[in-house]
Amino acid sequence: MSIQVFGTPVSRGVAIGRAVLVASSRVDVAHYFIGIDRIESEIDRLRQARDGVAAEFGALKNELPAEAPHELAALLDVHLMLLHDESLIGATKAWISDRHYNAEWALSAQLEVLARQFDEMEDAYLRERKADVEQVVERLLRELRPSAVGAAAAGAPATQAARDFGGEDPLVLVANDVAPADMLQFKRSVFTGFVTDVGGRTSHTAIVARSMDIPAVVGAREASRLIRQDDWIVIDGDAGVVIVDPSPIVLEEYRFRQRQSELERARLDRLRHTPAVTLDGQAVELLANIELPGDAAGALEAGAVGVGLFRSEFLFMNRGGNVPGEDEQFEAYRDAVIALQGLPVTIRTVDIGADKPLERGSAQEHRYDHGLNPALGLRAIRWSLSEPGMFRQQLRAILRASAYGKVRILIPMVAHLGEVRMTFEALTRARQQLDDAGRAYSQVEVGAMVEVPAAAVMIDRFLRHFDFVSIGTNDLIQYTLAIDRADEAVAHLYDPWHPAVLQLLHHTISRANALGRAVSVCGEMAGDVAFTELLLAMGLRSFSMHPARIASIKQRVLRADTRQLAAHLEQVLDSDAPAEVLRLALQGRTWH
């Protein structure tokens, strides 16, 4: 029977496919299809890993000192038995030969199946044996030596053979949580959509999903418990609904919607190179948000006139906590700058912390590991200033990239004038170091993110120091309303229409305009068509968003008349129901 699970819609569109359940801690396991000719060698790889682990367990058992508790030997016996159990190894082989999953994927798929069976057991002792299976799988995963195909897939995660392997059903990922760093693994993945139990609309996992332009629902609480490995599911990324085992009628309806959105996409695509100018002749700058230098080409293709936000922290992830060195960073920034062919690239200094931990692992796990309240803790510029050597290293790398094109530096989460002073001191020192080393660099503009209410309230003072500001509405909303943006339990209170948020936005945009400083919005509101007219009415002329959102926003800009919009602004700002007032105003009606 078909069931529905409700969550928060975070990335539009409809995905229909078979569920692949992945434990949060194993989302980074390589997922790729193998060709028919590789099935035997893949099973062989599994067999070798099994033999390797069995030999290790056997040796451990033999070396146990006589005085060791006998439970230890018994535990090793259980693990050895599991290693040869058909329900683990036999079934894993079946995932490889029937579904053409690589061995790691097959193992984690089978672990999910077994874990459920254990969870459903009445007997508490047997239920706890799940941990043994998990430990054995963990060992096997470590033991599996990468195959040539696997090595390529690890470099270009989960891309390949998916499409080569024609006739395969589309797949959607279901997990309790996916860390932002792991989302990067899905950039060109086999998955056509995903669902997670936790997360909010502007959690970084959701942001990366939007940048990939794949339908996604987060905060669907029970999803990973209710959905079973291989179930057919529909992800409705517009409504935030997941339908498990849909009836043929429902399926047909969704297939129809899928075709409609493909047509709409193709239509919008034609606007790619049309300049974004309003009906009354106001030019609007539509910039791209990117996570990695490889995204830069896509930004240009989508019609962006520059990069408004390069989230540099993604270069720092998936490296076991080690930060990339100056040369490596420089090369990444330079590649993005060259790809933009003279258009500006705004590189934000690292914004590590909160739901973007340095080390890998789910955001959920880390939320409680790193400080009591990481969103209010050592994050972004606070973290950079606490690691001055690392900060100057990043500044030098960015400055060096400025020799190759137009670079702007953006500082995240500034709240104190002391932070401003220390940032500029670090910049001066970084320039001196480059001078001493005889390295080339050019003039760069320096801007601040306005994402803490303090910065918005005292924007005039900030603007004495910075060349430009970029409003990070994701955090501005989080900090103004005291809502953890990654926490699904308070997702219903996360409200971009809140009058306090609108006032801070309006104040920041109008003061920057009055003082002749460039101002942009780079939070998710910039790519949401519900806010385009309102932001234009506030005087905003620069929007930065995922490349996939540019065409839709451009369409709204082309149809807007900023003079008419400005006339409604006061009414919207004064209202207790601003969204409704704006909607009626756009229809030429008034609200009572």
Which chain residues interact with ligand PEP by CB under 6 A? 207, 309, 311, 351, 451, 472-475, 522-523
Least Cβ distance, residue 588 to Mg ion (angstroms): 36
Stretch that binds Mg ion, among 82-90, 287-295, 457-465, 469-477 (CB under 5 A): 469-477
DSSP 258-291: HHHHHHHHHHHHTTTTS--B-TT--B-EEEEEES
- Least separation in angstroms between CB 412 and Mg ion: 6
User: What residue 522 binds from ligand PEP, Mg ion, none (CB within 5 to 8 A, per partner kind)?
Assistant: ligand PEP
Rounded least distance, CB 376 to ligand PEP, Å: 14
Q: Is 353 in the site for Mg ion (CB under 5 A)?
A: no
Which residue type, as a one-letter code, is found at position 377? G
Q: Which stretch binds Mg ion (CB under 5 A): 95-103, 467-475, 478-486, 547-555?
A: 467-475
CB 407 within 8 A of CB 333: yes
Cα 20 to Cα 108: distance, rounded to the nearest angstrom: 10
Residue number, 24 or 202, with CB nearest to Mg ion: 202
Cβ pair 112, 22 in contact under 8 A: yes
The continuous run of DSSP H or E covering 233 comes out as strand 232-236
Using CB under 5 A as the binding rule, whether residue 484 contacts Mg ion is answered as no
Q: Does 475 bind Mg ion (CB under 5 A)?
A: yes
**Greatest alpha-carbon span in the chain:** 88
Work out what residue 147 binds among Mg ion, ligand PEP, none; the CB cut-off runs from 5 to 8 Å by kind: none
> Which run of H or E residues covers position 173?
strand 171-175
Residue 128 makes CB contacts below 8 A (sequence gap 6+) with none
Interface with Mg ion, residue 291, by CB under 5 A: no
Q: How far is the CB of 204 from ligand PEP (least distance, A)?
A: 6
Residue 324 near residue 312, CB atoms below 8 Å: no
**Residue (of 448, 495, 458, 451) closest to 472 by Cα position:** 451
**Crossing angle of helices 388-401 and 326-339, rounded to 10°:** 30
Q: Looking at beta carbons only, is 210 or 396 nearer to Mg ion? A: 210
106 close to 229: Cβ distance less than 8 angstroms:
no
Report the nearest approach of Mg ion to the CB of residue 508 (Å).
Answer: 14
Taking CA atoms, 330 is separated from 127, 336, 390, 399, 565, in Å, by 51, 10, 13, 8, 43
CB of 71 to Mg ion, least distance (A): 50
Closer residue to ligand PEP (CB): 231 or 451:
451
Q: What number of other Cβ atoms are within 10 A of residue 44's Cβ?
A: 13
Dihedral (CA of 61, 67, 72, 78) sign: positive
Q: Decide the pairing of beta strands 241-244 and 232-236.
A: antiparallel
Nearer to ligand PEP, 152 or 376 (CB): 376
Q: Binding Mg ion by CB under 5 A: which of 9, 17, 193, 472?
A: 472
Which one of 31, 522, 546, 568 is the catalytic residue? 522
Pairing of strands 171-175, 14-21: parallel
Q: How far lies 369's CA from each of 200, 323, 372, 556, 561, in Å?
A: 19, 19, 8, 43, 49
- Whether 452 and 472 have beta carbons less than 8 Å apart is answered as no
Nearer to ligand PEP, 110 or 473 (CB): 473
Complex with Mg ion: residue 475 or 487, whichever CB lies closer: 475
Q: Where are the alpha helices (DSSP H) in 482-531?
A: 499-514
User: Is-contact 469 450, C-beta < 8 A?
Assistant: yes
- Would you call 204 a catalytic residue per the annotation? yes
Q: Look at residue 568 and give the partner it binds from ligand PEP, Mg ion, none, a contact being a CB closer than 5 to 8 Å depending on partner kind.
A: none
Indicate the residue among 402 and 474 with the shorter CB distance to ligand PEP.
474
| Alpha helices (H) in 64-168, listed in sequence order | 70-83, 91-99, 103-119, 124-127, 130-143, 148-155
Contacts of 52 (CB under 8 A, 6+ apart): 143
CB of 340 to Mg ion, least distance (A): 22
CA distance 169 to 480: 44
Active site residue: 204, 366, 370, 546, which one? 204
- CB closer to ligand PEP out of 277 and 323: 323
Minimum distance of ligand PEP from residue 582's CB (angstroms): 21
The residue among 184 and 227 lying less far from ligand PEP, judged by its C-beta, is 184
Among ligand PEP, Mg ion, none, the one that 488 touches (CB under a kind-dependent 5 to 8 A) is none
Q: With CB under 5 A as the rule, give the number of residues binding Mg ion.
A: 3
Please, where are the H alpha helices in 191-325? Answer: 204-212, 223-226, 248-269, 296-301
473 binds, among Mg ion, ligand PEP, none (CB under 5 to 8 A by kind): ligand PEP
Check residue 293 for interaction with Mg ion (CB under 5 A). no
Stretch that binds Mg ion, among 50-58, 139-147, 444-452, 538-546 (CB under 5 A): 444-452
Residue 522 falls in the annotated catalytic set: yes
Cβ at position 355, least distance to ligand PEP in Å:
9
Active site residues: 204, 522
| Positions that interact with Mg ion (CB under 5 A) | 451, 472, 475
